[in-house]
Amino acid sequence: MDRLDSDLLRTFLAVAETGSVTLGAAQILRTQSAASLQIKRLEETLGQPVFLRHGRGVSLTPLGERLLPTARQITTALDTTLRTLTADGLTGRLRLGFPDDHSHGILAQIIAAFSQSHPSVELEVVCDLSARFPTMMENGTLDLAVYETETPDDPSDVLWQDQTYWVSSRNHDLLARPELPVALFDRACWWRDAALDALEAMRRPYRIIYSSQSVQGVAAAVEAGIAVALMGSNVIGDKIMVLGPGEGFPDMPKSNLVLRTSGQDTPALHSIEAAIRKAFARRSGAG
């Protein structure tokens, strides 16, 4: 007998809310292939498609529209039940630091769930540039920080690794231009430094024509065919392709998302650290 699995419903919700399998997969910390497989399983269970595929992403079918409120109700009820049954009366105050580019995804979901489970724990969340968090941890401004770095101090701190790539629009040929148009992050981060070092090593004329503080801003410039850029794997899709050695671009390093704590021995700090590590370990096991 076919049954609706709650994991399938969570993937369905993520894709429906973002309008993209790639973005939905990133939101729930799964790979694009894993999310696509789950959507396929859901559609096989229902006997009909829940999404219409098109060049801009996906949209809901009439069946998907009918499923949406039920999926939200079921997953909300399950989450509420889990929080109610596992609440342990934690108290205290935590100062947390998250990078801007990750503050609206899985980390925001973890914080929301933690706050509902432990309402007596006061949370102070700082969203800032990854490059600033190591100093903030050293001077005692934060109790816990999650941030990106090229070289982690301790391998056990790593939550997730993402390969970086030079990318370009699939629909625009920028490589034949005398000067390569480039988009960069306009902030202090190792991504910008790595991109500039690679461009100098390539000995190819280039010009920085676009800067943005966000991944979304740089990705939009690439998709529009304005420039090439150094980005993570989550932007690769129907409109954005990888530029590799075949196009004269070098292999680039991995980005490491790390978690560091102040080392305080408090139940509240241990609890939120465990929640964050568990969420990212779930993605690692999803394949």
Residue-range domain boundaries for the chain: 6-85, 87-150+256-286, 161-252
> What mean pLDDT value characterizes the chain?
88
The domain 6-85 is classified under which CATH number: 3.30.1320.10, 1.10.3720.10, 1.20.140.90, 1.10.10.10? Answer: 1.10.10.10
Q: Domain 87-150+256-286: give its CATH superfamily.
A: Periplasmic binding protein-like II (3.40.190.10)
Same fold, 87-150+256-286 and 161-252: yes
210 φ, ψ (degrees, to nearest 5): -150, 135
Q: How far apart are the first and last CA of the chain?
A: 27
| pLDDT tens column, 185-202 | 877 678 888 999 999 999
User: What are 150-158's contacts with CB under 8 Å, separation 24+?
Assistant: 150/190, 150/194, 150/253, 150/254, 150/255, 150/256, 151/256, 152/256, 152/258, 157/258, 157/259, 157/260, 158/256, 158/257, 158/258
Return the residue matching tokens 């004269």: 248
- Give the 3-state secondary structure of residue 139: coil
For 48-52, 185-189, 217-221, which range has the lowest pLDDT when averaged over its residues?
185-189
pLDDT bin (cut points 50, 70, 90) of residue 284 is: low
Whether residue 149 contacts residue 208, with contact meaning beta carbons closer than 8 Å, is answered with no
Least confidently predicted of 18-22, 124-128, 187-191, 204-208: 187-191
143-174: pLDDT as tens digits: 999 998 888 888 899 998 889 999 999 999 99
Give the amino acid at 9: L
* CATH superfamily ID and name for 161-252: Periplasmic binding protein-like II (3.40.190.10)
pLDDT digits (tens, 9 = 90+) for 92-123: 899 999 887 665 567 877 888 888 778 888 99
Strands 229-232 and 158-169, how do they pair?
Answer: antiparallel
pTM: 0.64
